Amino acid sequence: MKEFKFLFAIWKTNLQSAMEYRAAFLTQAIGMMVNNFIYFAIWIIFFDRFKDVRGWGVNDMYVTFGVLASAFGLVSLLFGNAFNLSDIIAKGRLDYYLSLPRPVLLHTIASRTIASGMGDFLYGFVSYGLSGYFTWDGLARYVLATLLAATVFAAFLILTQSLAFWFGMMTNFSNLVLNAMLTFGIYPITLFDSYAKLILFTLIPAALMGAIPAEFIRAFTWQTLGELLLGAIGFLTLAIFTFRMGLRRYESGSAIQIEV
């Protein structure tokens, strides 16, 4: 409970800080929504021409793209530093968080808000609304699926970026796996054979951020809910464990760091 209060206090501060530059915040949020609309037009053109990909149509793409965008946006808004955790580790900037009496990982990743995340988060709901699958209980599932997909995504970021404790600067690797996660998450899962699917559930858990949440939103089944819960809990546990293991190896120089 104490940690939730702490989190809300950080998020409130982040929001106030972002609102200091209101025009920039709104430009980024609206710009990202327009950006997503334009990007999705490619899929509309594709499915208009080729109708479906092994039973996967444009309506399924609306839901998949929507839930992925909302989950991505939620992590950008609430845990923006998860995207540059490896930089923070490699440059010794964890010193600041270590010196304060709050959970290091939570404090670090929640200390930044990416304004464009608001655009992604909201766009996802619009995309779901346009999908033709909209129902009120579906909307409740959409919210739950977004939370679980965001948990998997945040855990994946923490996990991969924590490798910086062992390997130092890894901006390129982080970008590579992030792009792979988003790219594989958007494409129809019916494209992949069973070996590729195994990778998409484990090494790069894109299926748990796109296809499986979308399946759960379209129709409730205990199996998809179980897969999502198991994925979220499993990846989060592994991410926290890896970060803690890495933290034991953490060392920093004498550079003076200023956190603004």
Smaller CB separation from other proteins, 66 or 188:
188
Q: Does 248 bind other proteins (CB under 8 A)?
A: no
Strands (E) across 9-64 are located at none
| Nearest residue to 43 via CA among 24, 61, 67, 63 | 61
Smaller CB separation from other proteins, 97 or 184:
184
Smaller CB separation from other proteins, 171 or 257:
171
Interface residue with other proteins, options 15, 130, 139, 180 (CB under 8 A): 180
Please write down the long-range contacts of 49-53, taking CB distance under 8 Å and 24 or more positions apart.
Answer: 53/188, 53/190, 53/191
Interface residue with other proteins, options 187, 216, 235, 243 (CB under 8 A): 187
Q: Does 140 bind other proteins (CB under 8 A)?
A: no
Interface residue with other proteins, options 17, 175, 221, 237 (CB under 8 A): 175
Binding segment for other proteins among 9-17, 64-72, 133-141, 169-177 (CB under 8 A)? Answer: 169-177
Q: Which two tokens stand for residue 165?
A: 């404790």
Measured at the CA of 155, the angle between CA 229 and CA 220, to 5 degrees, comes to 25
Contact assessment for residue 211 and residue 77, using Cβ atoms and an 8 Å cutoff = no
Contacts of 146 (CB under 8 A, 6+ apart): 67, 70, 71, 74, 124, 213
Q: In the complex, which residues of this chain contact other proteins (CB under 8 A)?
A: 24, 27-28, 30-32, 34-35, 38-39, 41-42, 45-46, 48-50, 52-54, 116, 171-173, 175-176, 179-180, 183-184, 187-188, 190-192, 196
